Every structure is written in C-alpha cells, then in structure tokens.
C-alpha cells in the first residue's frame, strides 16, 4: 500500500539541505516506534530486508536551489510505500495529529495529514509500462590500500541488472515466498537520466545512485515487491521507490 504524507513548513525562509533522505528515514522510524516500540525496534534493527521505501520530497511551488540547500518550500508531500500492514497502520495512526518534525536545525514542518494512494496494479503488470526510480546497487571491491570496500555498480555492468533481480528474489524469500523463479527469465531495459552520490556512507567516499527510466519483465509476485518495497538497495533510505510514468 502507498500513502501520501502532506506537510506544511513553518517558515518559507527555512533551508532544506540536499541530503535529507536520512531525516525522512529517522522520522519514519520515530513514527513506527511511537506506534509500537518493540515492533519499531525490530524494523529499525532489521538488516536482512527493507521493510519500506519512500519518494523524494515532492514540491509543486517554485523553489530556489543554492549550493548549500533548497529554499522557498512552504508545502511538500512524501509518498511512502510498504507491504507490511503494521508499518502502514503505524504511519496512518498519525493522521490529523499535526505532529511537528525537524529536518536539520532550521527546517521545521507540521505533518498535516496522511492520505491513501490508489495502487495502480494494472499499470504495474503491463510489461510496456515505463517506471522511474533512483537506484543503488553495490559490490565489494579491493581499494588501493588493499582493504575491502563497498562501491556502486555502474549501469553498464552486468552486475547492475543481476543485483536488482537477486535483491528482489531475496526479499521474496524473506517474506515467505515459496515459488522458484529463474533470473534468466527476467529483464530490465533502462536509460539513465542522471546520477549523483549519496553521502551517508561517506567513509567510503559515498555511494553513487542513478535516476533511471525502465521497463521491467519479471513474475507478478516480484513486481509487487518492487512496487511496495523498492528495487536495488538502501530502500529504507528512500532509494528504489518506483513511480509509474506511463
């Protein structure tokens, strides 16, 4: 299920720093933990599976992007997705509470409402549907110092596609899926629209993510997981959230 979080910024002069994904993640964990502390802790500590994902901040007003951050936001939304019913119920529980949250020191906003988004499964199952997402896929590498490090696959590497499908298969099995799927029967055709580096793993210099448009051929069971919990890695940081373009 998908939800839309609607937020009003307390001051239009507030600056939103560019690396705000971690702030959204912290807010989500806080909401789930307030709903059920032990459940929230288990979601937070889960290393095997991404339980949710979310979009970038969506803002329809004119904004000003500067080197140090984004200015001029007075209202924004975040689209949130999970196939875990308890997580969805936790997010829905804050509806109409008008809780105040803070991203960085000065960007303060009120979470005004939570709205259900109608799932488009017809579009999801159509193999001609074009999707969009910001995707991270990683591999182990030996650096110049001889130490093992984690780096991002480049989209032109075969491992990029394989990582996406292996990740979906892993999620499916961890969620109790019993069917067997052959990775050779799956395909993703994509084009890279842009790329950037997420800064949260900065001890390795950052991980590169790619904004891609793509079509996806795979079993319906895996498409539902991709739609609900994201593709690629770092889904709980908001990467891999799928939007249906057409």
pLDDT (tens place) for every residue of the chain, 246 residues total: 999 999 999 887 788 888 888 889 999 999 999 999 999 999 888 866 778 999 999 987 778 888 778 888 889 999 999 999 999 999 999 887 888 988 877 889 999 999 999 888 888 888 888 888 999 998 888 777 778 788 889 988 889 999 999 999 999 998 888 888 888 888 888 999 888 877 655 455 678 889 999 998 888 899 999 999 999 999 998 999 999 876
Q: Where in the chain is the domain with CATH 3.30.70.1900?
A: 121-244
Taking only Cα atoms into account, the Rg of the chain, rounded to an integer number of angstroms, comes to 18
- Non-local (6+) Cβ contacts of 192 within 8 A are 155, 210, 211, 212
Closest CA to 228 of 89, 40, 51: 51
Q: Where in the chain is the domain with CATH 3.30.70.1890?
A: 2-117
Token reading at 232 = 């690629």
Q: Is 83 exposed, middle or buried (0-12, 13-18, 19+ CB in 10 A)?
A: middle
| CATH 3.40.50.1100 given to domain 121-244 | no
Cα torsion 14, 44, 233, 221 to 10°: value is: -120
Does the pTM surpass 0.95? The reply is no
Distances (CA, A) of 183 to 72, 82, 125, 223, 228: 46, 24, 18, 13, 20
CATH of 2-117, one of 3.40.109.10, 3.30.70.1890, 3.40.50.720, 3.50.50.60: 3.30.70.1890
């Amino acid at each position: 299920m998908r939800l839309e979080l609607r937020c009003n910024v307390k001051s239009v002069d507030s600056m939103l720093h560019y690396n705000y994904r971690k702030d959204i993640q912290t807010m989500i964990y806080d909401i789930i933990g307030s709903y059920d502390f032990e459940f929230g802790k288990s979601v937070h500590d889960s290393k095997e599976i991404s339980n949710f994902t979310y979009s970038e901040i969506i803002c329809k007003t004119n904004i000003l992007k500067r080197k140090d951050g984004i200015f001029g936001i007075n209202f924004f939304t975040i689209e949130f997705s999970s196939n875990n019913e308890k997580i969805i119920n936790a997010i829905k529980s804050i509806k109409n509470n008008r809780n105040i949250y803070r991203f960085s020191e000065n960007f303060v906003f009120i979470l005004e409402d939570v709205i259900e988004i109608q799932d488009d499964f017809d579009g999801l199952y159509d193999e001609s549907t074009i999707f969009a997402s910001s995707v991270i896929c990683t591999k182990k590498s030996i650096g110049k110092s001889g130490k093992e490090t984690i780096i991002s696959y480049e989209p032109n590497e075969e491992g990029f596609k394989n990582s996406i499908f292996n990740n979906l298969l892993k999620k499916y099995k961890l969620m109790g899926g019993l069917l067997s799927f052959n990775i050779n029967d799956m395909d993703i055709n994509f084009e890279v629209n842009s790329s950037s580096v997420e800064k949260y793993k900065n001890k390795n210099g950052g991980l590169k993510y790619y904004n891609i448009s793509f079509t996806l051929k795979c079993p319906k069971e895996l498409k539902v997981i991709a739609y609900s919990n994201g593709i690629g890695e770092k889904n709980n940081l908001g990467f891999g959230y799928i939007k249906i373009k057409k």
